[in-house]
Amino acid sequence: MNKGLLKAWNDEKGFGFIKSDTLEHDTFIHISALKHMSRKPKVGDTIYFEVATQPDGKTKAINCRIEGVAELKAPYQKHKQQPYRIAKSNFASSFLGKVASIALIGALCFYAINKYNTHSNTNNLSSVRSNSQTPVISNDDLATFDEKYPKVVIPKIVIPKSTQNFTCDGRQYCTQMSSRAEAVFFINNCPNTKMDGDKDGDPCERDSRF
């Protein structure tokens, strides 16, 4: 940090020069470097400053302050803190919005699960009631059952008890049989017979000999 006296000042154009014993040349100073001071500079003021080199190679004073003159810190700090307050407010609003969104999603999920469970329980109860309402057959129903559903009598083929005279000898056709009893024996006991085309257990139905 350098110290010097304000040697010259053009109030209309807003610039001047500082003379310092520690620097070889006078240093240019602009009003913008002193905008935070409570008054404008005047010739003879003691200036504390730093030196910066401009692109054209010339030097200028920066970070300046006038000795014995108060700085306008309050407006400057208020201006700096405003973005922080806005950011803090935005953060709070965003956080509350996320919490509200999560709560809404949770409520919707709870409602959907509760709705599903209620529907499932209703279906189960209906099924139980349906099963419990199965009609019971009464004695009157049993009495009329035979009338509604008559018995179907299936004719039985009587196989002669004595079959010791019949043996499987390779015969397959009705023309080779000597009796119906023999034909019945063959279709029940011998392989590859061709005497019961409709598979009803009654062989040689069209043979006029039987």
Cβ partners under 8 Å of residue 46, min gap 6: 3, 4, 5, 6, 66, 67, 68
Q: Indicate the residue type of 206.
A: R
pLDDT, tens digit, 9 for 90 and up, residues 84-98: 454 555 656 677 888
Question: Once rounded to an integer, what is the mean pLDDT over residues 145-156?
Answer: 61
The structural domains of the chain, with segments of one domain joined by +, span 2-73, 157-205
pTM exceeds cut of 0.85? no
Q: How confident is the model at residue 76 (pLDDT cuts 50, 70, 90)?
A: very low
Question: Once rounded to an integer, what is the mean pLDDT over residues 163-177?
Answer: 83
pLDDT at 68: 93
Per the DSSP assignment, residues forming a β-bridge with 28 are 17, 60
159 vs 60, residue with greater confidence: 60
Question: Once rounded to an integer, what is the mean pLDDT over residues 104-118?
Answer: 85
pLDDT at 147: 66
Please give the Cα distance from 173 to 206 (Å, whole number). 12
Q: Which fold has domain 2-73?
A: OB fold (Dihydrolipoamide Acetyltransferase, E2P) (2.40.50)
CB atoms inside a 10 Å sphere around CB 185:
21
pLDDT, tens digit, 9 for 90 and up, residues 13-62: 999 999 999 898 899 999 999 999 999 999 999 999 999 988 888 899 99
